[in-house]
Structure 1
Amino acid sequence: MAIAHSSLLSSLQGGLIISCQAPPDSPLHVPEIIAAMAEAAVNQGAVGIRVDSPAHVRAVRQRLPKIPLIGLWKQVSADSDVYITPQFHHAEAIAQAGADIIALDATERPRPQGDTLAEIVQRVQEKLEIPMMADIDSLEAARVAHQLGIEIIGTTLYGYTAATAEQSPPAWELLSDLVRDCPGFIICEGGISSPEMAQRAIALGANAVVVGTAITGIDMLVQRYRSAILGQ
Structure 2
Amino acid sequence: MSPVLERLRGRLIVSCQAYPGEPLRVPEIMERMALAAVEGGAAGIRAQGLEDIARIVAATDVPVTGLWKDGEDPVFITPTLEHAIAVADAGAHIVALDGTRRPRPDGRTLAQTIAGLREHADVLVMADCGSLEDALAAEDAGADVLGTTLAGYTGERARTQGPDVELIDQMVARCSRPVVVEGRVHTPAQAADAMGRGAFAVVVGTAITHPTTITGWFHQAVTER
TM, length-normalised to structure 2: 0.95
Matched, 1:216 2:212: no
Counterpart position of 1:148: 141
Matched, 1:162 2:158: no
Counterpart position of 2:85: 92
2:125, 2:114 → 1: CA distance? 8
* Residue from 43, 51, 55 that aligns with 2:51: 55
Residues 130 and 169 of structure 1: is their aligned pair in 2 closer, same or farther, counting only changes over 3 Å? same
Query: How is 1:198-213 mapped onto 2 (pairs within 5 angstroms)?
Result: 198-213=191-206
The residue identity in structure 2 corresponding to 1:106 is G
Counterpart position of 2:14: 18
1:113, 1:137 → 2: CA distance? 20
Residues 68 and 168 of structure 1: is their aligned pair in 2 closer, same or farther, counting only changes over 3 Å? same
The residue identity in structure 2 corresponding to 1:69 is V
Counterpart position of 1:76: 71
1:145, 1:99 → 2: CA distance? 20
Count of residues in Structure 1 that have an aligned counterpart in Structure 2: 225
1:166, 1:104 → 2: CA distance? 20
2:112, 2:191 → 1: CA distance? 34
Deviation at 1:168, TM superposition (A): 4.3
Deviation at 1:225, TM superposition (A): 2.9
1:166, 1:149 → 2: CA distance? 27
Matched, 1:124 2:117: yes
Residues 55 and 178 of structure 1: is their aligned pair in 2 closer, same or farther, counting only changes over 3 Å? same
* SS in structure 2 of the partner of residue 153 of structure 1: strand
Matched, 1:102 2:78: no
Deviation at 1:18, TM superposition (A): 0.1
Runs of 4+ residues deviating >3 angstroms: 165-169, 227-232
The question of whether the paired residues in 1 share the 8 Å contact of 2:13 and 2:43 is answered with yes
The question of whether the paired residues in 2 share the 8 Å contact of 1:133 and 1:153 is answered with yes
The question of whether the paired residues in 2 share the 8 Å contact of 1:158 and 1:169 is answered with no
Give the root-mean-square deviation of aligned CA atoms. 1.5
* SS in structure 2 of the partner of residue 175 of structure 1: helix
Deviation at 1:230, TM superposition (A): 3.7
Deviation at 1:171, TM superposition (A): 1.4
Counterpart position of 1:39: 35
TM, length-normalised to structure 1: 0.92
The alignment-based identity, stated in percent, is 43
The question of whether the paired residues in 2 share the 8 Å contact of 1:57 and 1:98 is answered with yes
Deviation at 1:167, TM superposition (A): 4.2
5+ residue gaps, structure 2: none
1:67, 1:206 → 2: CA distance? 19
Deviation at 1:129, TM superposition (A): 2.2
